[in-house]
Structure 1
Amino acid sequence: MATQYATFAGGCFWCMVKPFDQYEGVQSVTSGYTGGQSVNPTYEEVCTNTTGHREAVQIEFDDEVISYKELLNIFWQVIDPTDAGGQFHDRGESYKTAIYTHSPQQHLEAEQSKNALQASGKFTSPIVTDILPAHPFYPAEEYHQQYYQKNPGHYARYSVGSGRVGFIEEHWGDRS
């Protein structure tokens, strides 16, 4: 087994766990914060949009079972890559999208996948998702972990009410 890490910011981290959790080869998906200056930030601090951190997920995966390219494809299909101000109803720096790369190879693959998505014509607006080097990742508070399993009713209402589900269905079809 060749364990690797992928780190993606896709808006509300509650909505970023389930899409990856269901794939063979994904060993864990942790909600947390990355990209900012403060050490061990709290949810309340990150929500002020003053820490530089973004809500993100860190995925531990076996690259002999699922590739980084496959994870990138999943990522693009669960965000709005054209929104520079956040994601859906969640606005501000802490909700902006990003791919945090852990190696030069990941950076190259992320750039290639972003360019391919732009060239595909799937979106008429530019793809604005940042590709950045990985920063220290701080796991979020326990009540945020695996939120879709702990609070399925609220999670379902939130993912629909935020506009995420409708956007995904419109651009990629039903992914539930």
Structure 2
Amino acid sequence: MQILEKLKPLVLTGLIAVWFSAHGNPLHAQSTEVLTVAGGCFWCVESDFESVPGVVEAVSGYTGGTTANPTYKDVTRGGTGHYEAVQIVFDPAKVSRERLLELFFRSVDPTDPGGQFCDRGDSYRTAVFVSNSQERALAEQTKAQAQQDLGQKIVTPILPAKTFYQAEDYHQDYYKGDSLVFTRFGPKRQAAAYKRYRQACGRDAKVAQLWGDAAPFAKGH
């Protein structure tokens, strides 16, 4: 019996370790928050925000529409109601939701209702998705400040969050991928293809023209 009593703490510790392994660390899960935005090409939004200190990861996907489990072809063809969007997972102890929203508005052309840069159509429009009244108030406040700073009307809507569908694996971290892809520029590694696309699309040039020194990411490309 004494041996069993001594083993009990070890068994309990082992069971706790197994539970955490299966379910993840709830303390870690509670330490992060999510901001979902649409800013045109999700490769670019993902690339921009994964460079921000305090951002844990950015995930490309589709949201805002009515079609369940949409594919990339479904969304870009139109009719699904979905936006190309990105879920930004961040540590609020290191970067605030407000700061990320400020960066977002200044990393896109929020005056364009028909898409972003060379990418046209509903799926490429900008939007901010919110889950509650507190998030909405913050987004509206940040949008109003951005509009005042820009001196032009911002058309980016603040929308209620809907189901977020993660995009296909090949879209995730596309900007730093090493796979060989065939493009209009010829065969290239993903990272090189991404840089050529971003430059040809005119994203950074337009953002820099709009926001000047306030553009947080345009200078880095």
Q: Distance in 2 between matches of 1:49 and 1:175?
A: 32
1:85 counterpart residue number: 114
- The residue type paired with residue 142 of structure 1 is D
Moved over 6 A (4+): none
2:129 counterpart residue number: 100
The 5 A counterparts of 1:45-84 are 45-84=74-113
> Which structure is larger by alpha-carbon Rg, 1 or 2?
2
Whether the 8 Å contact between 2:108 and 2:207 is mirrored in structure 1 is: yes
* 2:202 counterpart of 1:163: yes
CA drift at 1:123: 4.0
CA drift at 1:102: 2.4
Whether the 8 Å contact between 1:168 and 1:175 is mirrored in structure 2 is: no
- The residue type paired with residue 74 of structure 1 is L
1:35 to 64, 76, 80: 64
CA drift at 1:19: 1.1
Question: Residue by residue, what CA displacement relative to the aligned partner does 1:122-175 show, whole Å, maximum 9, x if unpaired?
Answer: 243x10001001110000001100111012111111111111010122223443
Any idea what SS the aligned residue of 1:58 has? strand
Runs of 5+ in structure 1 lacking a partner?
none
* 2:166 counterpart of 1:139: yes
Q: Distance in 1 between matches of 2:165 and 2:98?
A: 24
Any idea what SS the aligned residue of 1:27 has? strand
- Give the structure-2-normalised TM-score: 0.76
Whether the 8 Å contact between 1:77 and 1:172 is mirrored in structure 2 is: no
1:128 to 155, 173, 194: 155
Q: Distance in 1 between matches of 2:95 and 2:193?
A: 30
Q: Distance in 2 between matches of 1:140 and 1:131?
A: 22
2:175 to 132, 148, 155: 148
Whether the 8 Å contact between 2:102 and 2:146 is mirrored in structure 1 is: no
Higher RCO (CA < 8 A, seq sep 6+): 1
Sequence identity percentage: 45
- Give the structure-1-normalised TM-score: 0.94
* 2:41 counterpart of 1:12: yes
Whether the 8 Å contact between 1:6 and 1:102 is mirrored in structure 2 is: no
User: Over the residues paired in the alignment, what is the CA RMSD in angstroms?
Assistant: 1.2
CA drift at 1:23: 1.8
Runs of 5+ in structure 2 lacking a partner?
1-27, 178-189
